[in-house]
């Protein structure tokens, strides 16, 4: 056994000033924690296959790795040289296994999303960053993924917020999330946010996917557009929903398709996704309440590149609009926000070691899973479980029976000094596997900024005793 025992806080209450009144219950769960595997290069997706093994993408390692969760034994199924790797957001991202994988029907396909340079001849100085959806075939006897087949390519990508989660729906369609590439902030502050931009009929006919930023796509397993996708603004495309920021997290559950989305300085969102829904970004963050957010459109400022970006002050040259000045017939509010704060909230906390973002009232959720109503762990039943990159924790969102709403308290579990990237639930529902980033910054339980992670590049297992 390669497992090592490690010490974790088994549970903690939510430390949010806004949710203080909701953070009242002790979870009282009895878990043990173990390290299943280490030495992974930014493990990104972890998914449990029908072979009872963990299928893991390594974002920076460009590999799909198969791990025996009991012994920790690893094998590389494929290394994809074409993958373009960056410090945080570029590389080998989502993975989904065909719903009939290894059932004898011949559909032994693994689907992956990754970033690549669409113009490699230009070399490193002129990266044309794009993303693609590729199908691989599993050769079980050889233990390899072979015969790569491009299903969609030329999808917008950048050096920030590429989302990239893949999930099969109960309808047999692939759901694929795309980010807004971190447009309108930091080094990309003069790039427009395209989350509200929709394709024309001519673009769809020409397989021009350049408007697929800040979207959730619904795709046939051969890459084509499903006949029953929504017609949005008169055009049917791969787009299932739009108006997203960085929608890295999706999962199906009793209410349909759930999504967790990373907000700007506040207001991460939990959404229930409907066909053709507009989720508001960048006009609205969280609820349409004009609290601690206005849309400052830097790209619309005259001579944007002469400006200096600030997260705290929007210059007069940058057009600003309030949330409530925007409306759209298909707008959908979130189920929940983490967290909404009042106007005047101090986002530039001097106590945060010059790394104010780590103290912002968000959790940065990169993945979400559904814990079944008949699962073994009573307190998690019929809940969404999201990972947090900033707080090294899982967050638990109980659902109403019909799954259409969240209810009651949000619990924070298993806090450690790690960035939790993705999770998977074991077949017996007693163990939650979590992948951790290889490097990065987190906030510890006592509120300090931590730059050295305790279990980097690992798969952790939290087992209910
Ligand atoms: Ca997963
Ligand atoms: Ca929204
Ligand atoms: Ca708001």
Q: Convert the pLDDT of each residue in 372-388 to its tens digit.
A: 999 999 989 999 999 99
Summarised one tens digit per residue, pLDDT across range 288-324 is 999 999 999 999 999 999 999 999 999 999 999 999 9
Superfamily of domain 4-464: TolB, C-terminal domain (2.120.10.30)
Cα–Cα distance list, 308 to 67, 159, 311 (Å): 46, 19, 10
Instruction: Name the active-site residue from 161, 238, 244, 283.
Output: 161
Q: What's residue 123's pLDDT?
A: 64
Q: H-type helices in 101-197, by residue range? A: none
pLDDT tens digits for 62-99?
999 999 999 999 999 999 999 999 999 999 999 999 99
For residue 161, indicate whether it is catalytic.
yes
Backbone angles phi, psi at 215, to 5 degrees: -130, 160
Least distant ligand from the CA of 432: 1
- What's the pLDDT band for 12 if we cut at 50, 70, 90? very low
**Dihedral angle computed from the Cα positions of residues 118, 114, 453 and 48, in that order, rounded to the nearest 10 degrees:** -170
pLDDT at 18 over 70: no
Q: Which two tokens stand for residue 393?
A: 């924790």
251: β partners: 258
The 10s digit of each residue's pLDDT in 105-136 is 999 999 999 999 999 886 667 789 999 999 99
Q: How far apart are CA 205 and CA 27, in angstroms?
A: 53
Residue 143's CB is within 10 A of a number of other CB atoms, namely: 11
> What is the predicted pLDDT for the residue at 16?
31
Residue with tokens 């999504």: 259
CA of 293 to the centre of ligand 3 (A): 6
If you average pLDDT over residues 338-367, what whole number do you get? 92
Using only C-alpha atoms, what is the Rg of the chain? 21
Q: Enumerate the domain spans of the chain.
A: 4-464
Q: Is the pLDDT of residue 47 over 80?
A: yes
Q: Cis omega (within 30 of 0) on the bond before 337?
A: no
How far away, in angstroms, is 260 Cα from ligand 1 center? 13
Q: Is 222 left (phi over 0), alpha (psi -120 to 50) or beta?
A: alpha
> 424 CA distance to ligand 1 centroid (A)?
5
Ligand nearest to the CA of 287: 3
Burial of 392 (0-12, 13-18, 19+ CB in 10 A): buried
Distance from residue 286's CA to the centre of ligand 2 (Å): 5
C-alpha of residue 286 to centroid of ligand 3, in Å:
4
- Identify the pLDDT of residue 350: 83
Q: C-alpha distances in angstroms, 205 versus 1, 165, 229, 242, 421?
A: 54, 25, 15, 20, 36
Q: For residues 7 and 33, what is the distance between their CA atoms, to the nearest angstrom?
A: 7
- Return the half-sphere exposure (C-beta side, CA atoms, 13 A cut-off) of residue 294: 15
Mean of pLDDT values over 170-192: 98
Rounded Cα distance between 238 and 215, Å, is 9
Alpha helices in 304-350 (DSSP H): none
Contact 293, 323 (CB under 8 A): yes
- Binned at pLDDT 50, 70 and 90, residue 24 comes out as very low
Ligand nearest to the CA of 263: 2
The closest ligand to the CA of 281 turns out to be: 2
Whole-number Å distance, alpha carbon 396 to ligand 3 midpoint, is 22
What is the percent of the chain where pLDDT is above 90? 87
Instruction: Record the tokens describing residue 333, joined without a space.
Output: 């509010």
Report, as an integer, the average pLDDT of 358-374: 97
pLDDT tens-digit readout, 401-448: 999 999 988 999 999 999 999 999 999 999 999 999 999 999 988 888
Contact yes or no for 76/92 (Cβ under 8 A): no
């Amino acid at each position: 056994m390669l497992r090592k025992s490690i010490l974790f806080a088994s549970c903690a209450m939510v430390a949010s000033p806004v949710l203080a009144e909701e953070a009242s219950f002790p979870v009282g769960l009895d878990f043990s924690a173990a390290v299943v595997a280490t030495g992974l290069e930014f493990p990104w997706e972890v998914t449990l296959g029908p072979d009872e093994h963990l299928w893991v993408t390594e974002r920076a390692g460009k590999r799909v790795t198969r791990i025996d969760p009991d012994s920790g034994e690893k094998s590389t199924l494929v290394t994809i040289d074409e993958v373009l790797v960056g410090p945080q957001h570029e590389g080998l991202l989502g993975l989904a296994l065909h719903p009939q994988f290894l059932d004898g029907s011949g559909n032994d396909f693994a689907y992956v999303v990754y970033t690549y340079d669409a113009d490699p001849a230009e070399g490193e100085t002129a990266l044309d960053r794009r993303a693609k959806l590729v199908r691989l075939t599993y050769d079980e006897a050889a233990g390899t993924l072979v015969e790569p087949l491009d299903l969609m390519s030329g999808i917008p990508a950048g050096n920030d917020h590429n989302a990239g989660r893949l999930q099969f729906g109960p309808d047999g369609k692939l759901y694929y999330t795309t980010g807004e590439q971190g447009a309108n902030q930091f080094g990309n502050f003069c790039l427009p946010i395209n989350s509200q931009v929709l394709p024309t009929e001519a673009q769809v006919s020409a397989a021009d996917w350049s408007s697929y930023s800040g979207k959730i796509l619904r795709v046939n397993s051969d890459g084509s557009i499903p006949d029953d996708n929504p017609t949005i603004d008169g055009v049917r495309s791969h787009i299932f929903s739009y108006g997203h920021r960085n929608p890295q997290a999706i999962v199906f559950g009793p209410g349909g398709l759930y999504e967790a989305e990373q907000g700007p300085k506040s207001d991460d969102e939990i959404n229930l996704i409907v066909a053709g829904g507009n989720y508001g970004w960048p006009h609205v963050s969280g609820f349409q309440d004009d609290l601690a957010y206005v849309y400052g459109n830097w790209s619309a400022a005259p001579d944007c590149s002469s400006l200096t970006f600030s997260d705290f002050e929007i210059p007069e040259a940058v057009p600003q609009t309030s949330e409530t000045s925007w409306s759209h017939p298909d707008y959908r509010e979130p189920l929940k926000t983490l967290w909404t704060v009042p106007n005047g909230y101090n986002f530039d906390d001097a106590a945060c070691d010059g790394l104010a973002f780590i103290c912002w009232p968000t959790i940065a959720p990169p993945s979400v899973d559904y814990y079944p109503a008949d699962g073994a762990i009573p307190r998690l039943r019929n809940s969404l479980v999201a990972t947090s990159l900033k707080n090294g924790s899982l967050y638990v969102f109980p659902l109403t029976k019909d799954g259409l709403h969240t209810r009651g308290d949000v619990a924070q579990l298993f806090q450690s000094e790690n960035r939790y990237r993705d999770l998977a639930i074991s077949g017996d529902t007693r163990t939650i596997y979590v992948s951790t980033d290889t490097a990065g910054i987190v906030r510890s339980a006592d509120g300090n900024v931590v730059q050295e992670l305790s279990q980097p590049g690992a798969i952790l297992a939290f087992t209910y005793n």
